[in-house]
Amino acid sequence: MTKKVRHVLGISGGKDSAALAMYMKMHHPEIDMEYYFSDTGKELPETYELIAELESFLGKKIKKLEANHSHKNPFDHYLDIYNGFLPSSMARWCTQKLKLEPFERWIGEDLAISYVGIRDDEDREGYVSTKSNIQSVFPFRKHIWSMEILHKVLHNSNREKIAELYEKHGEKNLIARFIEIIDEPQSPKYLFSQKMNDLLQLSISTFNRVVFYFLKNENYPVSHLNEYSLLENEDSVDINKVFQLFKENGVKVPGYYDEVEFEVNGQKGKYNRSRSGCFFCFYQRKIEWIWLYERHPELFRKAQEYEKDGYSWMDNETLEEIIQPERMTQIKLDYIATLQKKLNSKNKSNKLIDILADENEVCANCFI
Ligand code: SF4
The domain locations on the chain are 5-145+229-249, 150-214, 256-367
Ligand 1 midpoint to CA 230 (Å): 31
Query: What integer is the mean pLDDT of 331-345?
Result: 88
331 or 361, which is more confident?
331
Ligand 1 pocket test: pick from 39, 79, 92 the residue with the most ligand atoms within 8 Å of its Cβ. Answer: 92
344-367: buried (b, 16+ CB within 10 Å) or exposed (e) per residue? eeeeeeebbbbbbbeeeebbbbbb
Atom 6, ligand 1: which residue's CA is nearest? Answer: 366
Whether residue 44 contacts residue 256, with contact meaning beta carbons closer than 8 Å, is answered with yes
Nearest by Cα to 13 from 326, 253, 258, 266: 253
94 lines ligand 1 (CB under 6 A): yes
Pick the CATH number of 5-145+229-249 from 3.40.50.300, 3.40.50.2300, 3.30.1300.10, 3.40.50.620: 3.40.50.620
Q: Which long-range contacts (CB under 8 A, 24 or more apart) does 112-115 make?
A: 112/5, 112/6, 112/7, 112/8, 112/221, 113/5, 113/6, 113/7, 113/8, 113/137, 113/221, 113/222, 114/8, 114/9, 114/10, 115/7, 115/8, 115/9, 115/20, 115/24, 115/33, 115/139
283 lines ligand 1 (CB under 6 A): yes
Residue-level pLDDT at 359: 47
> DSSP for 167-195?
HHHS-GGGHHHHHHHHHSPPBTTB-HHHH
281 lines ligand 1 (CB under 6 A): yes
Neighbour tally for 218: CB within 10 Å: 11
Q: What is the mean pLDDT of the chain?
A: 91
Whether residue 113 contacts residue 133, with contact meaning beta carbons closer than 8 Å, is answered with no
181 lines ligand 1 (CB under 6 A): no
**Ligand 1 atom with least separation from CA of 367:** 1
47 lines ligand 1 (CB under 6 A): no
pLDDT digits (tens, 9 = 90+) for 1-23: 568 999 999 999 999 999 999 99
CB-side neighbour CA atoms (13 Å) of 29: 5
pLDDT digits (tens, 9 = 90+) for 279-320: 999 999 999 999 999 999 999 999 999 999 889 999 889 999
Ligand 1 pocket test: pick from 46, 47, 99, 361 the residue with the most ligand atoms within 8 Å of its Cβ. Answer: 99
For residue 356, give Cα distances in angstroms to 10, 126, 277, 293, 329.
24, 18, 17, 20, 20
44 lines ligand 1 (CB under 6 A): no
- CA–CA distance, 217 with 222 (Å, rounded to integer): 11
- CA–CA distance, 273 with 291 (Å, rounded to integer): 7
pLDDT-derived band at 233 (thresholds 50, 70, 90) equals: confident
Residue-level pLDDT at 159: 96
98 lines ligand 1 (CB under 6 A): yes
Of all residues in the chain, what percent carry a pLDDT higher than 90? 79
Residue 187 φ/ψ region, left for φ over 0, alpha for ψ in the -120 to 50 degree band, beta for the rest: beta
228 or 342, which is more confident?
228
Atom 4, ligand 1: which residue's CA is nearest? Answer: 278
Whether residue 149 contacts residue 215, with contact meaning beta carbons closer than 8 Å, is answered with yes
136 lines ligand 1 (CB under 6 A): no
pLDDT digits (tens, 9 = 90+) for 32-71: 999 999 999 999 999 999 999 999 999 999 999 988 777 8
For residue 353, give Cα distances in angstroms to 168, 302, 339, 343.
44, 25, 11, 12
Is 116 exposed, middle or buried (CB count within 10 Å of its CB: 0-12, 13-18, 19+)?
A: buried
Ligand 1 pocket test: pick from 65, 68, 363, 365 the residue with the most ligand atoms within 8 Å of its Cβ. Answer: 363
Ligand 1 midpoint to CA 221 (Å): 28
Q: Is the pLDDT of residue 364 over 80?
A: no
Residue-level pLDDT at 66: 82
Provide the terminal-to-terminal Cα distance of the chain, rounded to the nearest Å.
Answer: 35
Nearest by Cα to 19 from 267, 353, 244: 244
38 lines ligand 1 (CB under 6 A): no
> DSSP for 37-104?
EE--S-B-HHHHHHHHHHHHHHTSPPEEEPS--SSS-HHHHHHHHTTT----SSS-HHIIIIIIHHHH
Helix (H) or strand (E) holding 33: strand 33-38
**Ligand 1 atom with least separation from CA of 277:** 1
Residue-level pLDDT at 352: 58
DSSP, collapsed to helix, strand or coil, labels residue 261 as: strand
Ligand 1 pocket test: pick from 281, 282, 299, 313 the residue with the most ligand atoms within 8 Å of its Cβ. Answer: 281
